[in-house]
Protein backbone atom coordinates (compact mmCIF):
# COMPACT_ATOMS: atom_id res chain seq x y z
CA UNK A 1 0.00 0.00 0.00
CA UNK A 2 1.56 3.28 -1.00
CA UNK A 3 0.54 6.87 -0.53
CA UNK A 4 -1.46 6.41 -3.72
CA UNK A 5 -4.22 4.80 -1.69
CA UNK A 6 -6.26 6.10 1.16
CA UNK A 7 -9.30 4.89 3.05
CA UNK A 8 -12.02 6.77 4.86
CA UNK A 9 -15.48 6.82 6.36
CA UNK A 10 -18.57 8.83 5.48
CA UNK A 11 -20.75 9.41 8.54
CA UNK A 12 -24.42 9.99 7.74
CA UNK A 13 -27.48 10.76 9.82
CA UNK A 14 -31.17 11.02 9.08
CA UNK A 15 -32.93 9.29 6.25
CA UNK A 16 -35.37 6.43 6.46
CA UNK A 17 -35.61 6.12 10.23
CA UNK A 18 -36.31 9.81 10.83
CA UNK A 19 -38.20 12.60 9.21
CA UNK A 20 -35.02 14.62 8.55
CA UNK A 21 -33.22 14.42 5.26
CA UNK A 22 -29.89 12.68 5.04
CA UNK A 23 -26.86 14.69 6.07
CA UNK A 24 -23.22 13.69 5.74
CA UNK A 25 -20.19 14.71 7.78
CA UNK A 26 -17.39 16.21 5.69
CA UNK A 27 -13.97 17.46 6.76
CA UNK A 28 -12.13 20.61 5.71
CA UNK A 29 -8.33 20.23 5.38
CA UNK A 30 -6.18 22.29 7.74
CA UNK A 31 -3.37 24.66 6.93
CA UNK A 32 -2.88 27.90 4.98
CA UNK A 33 -3.23 26.36 1.52
CA UNK A 34 -6.85 25.37 2.18
CA UNK A 35 -7.78 28.24 4.50
CA UNK A 36 -9.84 30.24 1.98
CA UNK A 37 -10.94 27.34 -0.21
CA UNK A 38 -14.42 25.94 0.14
CA UNK A 39 -15.94 24.48 -3.03
CA UNK A 40 -14.17 21.26 -3.94
CA UNK A 41 -12.02 21.40 -0.80
CA UNK A 42 -14.09 19.27 1.59
CA UNK A 43 -13.50 15.53 1.86
CA UNK A 44 -14.54 12.45 3.74
CA UNK A 45 -12.17 11.93 6.71
CA UNK A 46 -9.53 9.63 5.22
CA UNK A 47 -5.86 8.84 5.11
CA UNK A 48 -3.10 6.43 4.22
CA UNK A 49 -3.10 2.71 4.89
CA UNK A 50 -0.43 1.35 7.24
CA UNK A 51 1.41 -1.91 6.56
CA UNK A 52 -0.56 -4.87 7.91
CA UNK A 53 -3.82 -2.94 8.05
CA UNK A 54 -6.91 -3.76 6.04
CA UNK A 55 -8.49 -0.90 4.09
CA UNK A 56 -11.46 -0.83 6.48
CA UNK A 57 -9.19 -0.82 9.56
CA UNK A 58 -7.32 2.13 8.05
CA UNK A 59 -10.60 3.95 7.35
CA UNK A 60 -11.77 3.47 10.94
CA UNK A 61 -8.42 4.62 12.40
CA UNK A 62 -8.16 7.65 10.12
CA UNK A 63 -11.72 8.73 10.95
CA UNK A 64 -10.87 8.61 14.67
CA UNK A 65 -7.53 10.43 14.22
CA UNK A 66 -8.96 13.20 12.05
CA UNK A 67 -12.23 13.82 13.91
CA UNK A 68 -11.72 12.44 17.42
CA UNK A 69 -14.99 10.52 17.02
CA UNK A 70 -15.59 6.78 17.08
CA UNK A 71 -17.42 4.97 14.30
CA UNK A 72 -19.76 2.01 14.59
CA UNK A 73 -20.63 -0.99 12.47
CA UNK A 74 -22.33 -1.85 10.25
CA UNK A 75 -20.14 -0.29 7.56
CA UNK A 76 -21.64 0.00 4.07
CA UNK A 77 -19.04 -0.31 1.35
CA UNK A 78 -19.08 2.59 -1.11
CA UNK A 79 -16.29 1.17 -3.27
CA UNK A 80 -13.48 3.41 -4.47
CA UNK A 81 -12.94 6.54 -6.55
CA UNK A 82 -9.82 7.92 -8.20
CA UNK A 83 -9.08 11.57 -7.49
CA UNK A 84 -7.50 13.93 -10.01
CA UNK A 85 -4.17 13.52 -8.19
CA UNK A 86 -4.27 9.84 -9.12
CA UNK A 87 -4.94 8.76 -5.54
CA UNK A 88 -7.46 5.96 -5.03
CA UNK A 89 -9.86 6.54 -2.12
CA UNK A 90 -11.71 3.57 -0.62
CA UNK A 91 -14.79 4.48 1.37
CA UNK A 92 -17.39 3.08 3.72
CA UNK A 93 -20.45 4.74 5.20
CA UNK A 94 -21.91 4.32 8.67
CA UNK A 95 -24.87 5.83 10.47
CA UNK A 96 -24.28 7.91 13.55
CA UNK A 97 -24.21 11.40 14.98
CA UNK A 98 -21.73 13.75 16.59
CA UNK A 99 -21.22 17.36 17.57
CA UNK A 100 -19.02 18.86 14.82
CA UNK A 101 -17.84 21.57 17.24
CA UNK A 102 -16.24 18.86 19.40
CA UNK A 103 -14.09 17.48 16.58
CA UNK A 104 -10.39 17.30 17.26
CA UNK A 105 -7.80 16.38 14.62
CA UNK A 106 -4.27 15.06 14.85
CA UNK A 107 -1.44 17.33 13.68
CA UNK A 108 0.81 16.96 10.67
CA UNK A 109 3.83 18.85 9.33
CA UNK A 110 3.74 20.63 6.01
CA UNK A 111 6.14 22.84 4.14
CA UNK A 112 4.94 26.45 4.12
CA UNK A 113 5.39 28.56 2.13
CA UNK A 114 5.84 25.96 -0.65
CA UNK A 115 9.48 25.17 -1.48
CA UNK A 116 10.65 27.31 1.46
CA UNK A 117 12.15 24.39 3.37
CA UNK A 118 10.19 25.59 6.44
CA UNK A 119 7.91 23.11 8.17
CA UNK A 120 4.85 24.21 10.09
CA UNK A 121 2.51 22.11 12.24
CA UNK A 122 -1.11 22.12 11.13
CA UNK A 123 -4.19 20.09 12.03
CA UNK A 124 -4.92 17.58 9.26
CA UNK A 125 -8.53 18.74 9.48
CA UNK A 126 -9.47 22.21 10.74
CA UNK A 127 -13.21 21.63 10.97
CA UNK A 128 -15.98 19.18 10.18
CA UNK A 129 -19.56 19.95 9.34
CA UNK A 130 -22.80 18.21 8.44
CA UNK A 131 -24.12 18.93 4.96
CA UNK A 132 -27.38 18.04 3.25
CA UNK A 133 -26.54 15.97 0.15
CA UNK A 134 -27.11 18.84 -2.31
CA UNK A 135 -24.84 21.14 -0.31
CA UNK A 136 -22.27 18.36 0.06
CA UNK A 137 -22.13 17.99 -3.74
CA UNK A 138 -21.11 21.66 -4.00
CA UNK A 139 -18.21 21.53 -1.55
CA UNK A 140 -16.85 17.97 -1.78
CA UNK A 141 -13.76 16.99 -3.78
CA UNK A 142 -15.21 16.39 -7.27
CA UNK A 143 -14.13 12.74 -7.48
CA UNK A 144 -15.81 11.97 -4.16
CA UNK A 145 -19.23 13.11 -5.42
CA UNK A 146 -19.72 9.54 -6.68
CA UNK A 147 -19.55 8.34 -3.07
CA UNK A 148 -22.59 10.48 -2.21
CA UNK A 149 -24.53 8.92 -5.09
CA UNK A 150 -23.55 5.41 -3.97
CA UNK A 151 -24.65 6.17 -0.41
CA UNK A 152 -28.10 7.28 -1.62
CA UNK A 153 -28.34 4.12 -3.75
CA UNK A 154 -27.48 1.91 -0.77
CA UNK A 155 -30.05 3.66 1.39
CA UNK A 156 -32.64 3.39 -1.37
CA UNK A 157 -33.52 7.10 -1.30
Q: Residue 1: what pLDDT?
A: 45
pLDDT per position as a tens digit, 58-100: 999 999 999 999 999 999 999 999 999 999 999 999 999 999 9
pLDDT per position as a tens digit, 8-28: 999 999 866 555 689 999 999
Mean predicted lDDT score pLDDT of the chain: 93
Closest CA to 74 of 59, 48, 60, 94: 94
Q: Residue 16: what pLDDT?
A: 61
**26 CB contacts (<8 Å, ≥6 apart)?**
42, 43, 44, 128, 129, 131, 136, 139, 140
Q: What is the CATH number of the domain that holds 128?
A: 3.90.79.10
Query: Are 13 and 53 a contacting pair, CB within 8 Å?
Result: no
pLDDT per position as a tens digit, 85-139: 999 999 999 999 999 999 999 999 999 999 999 999 999 999 999 999 999 999 9
Indicate the number of domains in the chain: 1
pLDDT per position as a tens digit, 39-55: 999 999 999 999 999 99
Question: Residue 3 pLDDT more than 80?
Answer: no
Strands (E) located in 14-56? 23-29, 46-48
pLDDT per position as a tens digit, 143-154: 999 999 999 999
Q: Residue 55: what pLDDT?
A: 98
Tell me which residue range forms the domain holding 52: 5-155
The pTM of the full predicted model, rounded to 2 decimals, is: 0.92
Amino acid sequence: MGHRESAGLLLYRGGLTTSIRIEVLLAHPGGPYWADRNEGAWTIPKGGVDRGETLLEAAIREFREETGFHSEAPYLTLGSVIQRSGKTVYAWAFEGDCDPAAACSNLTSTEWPPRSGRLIEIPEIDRVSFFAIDDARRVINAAQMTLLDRLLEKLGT
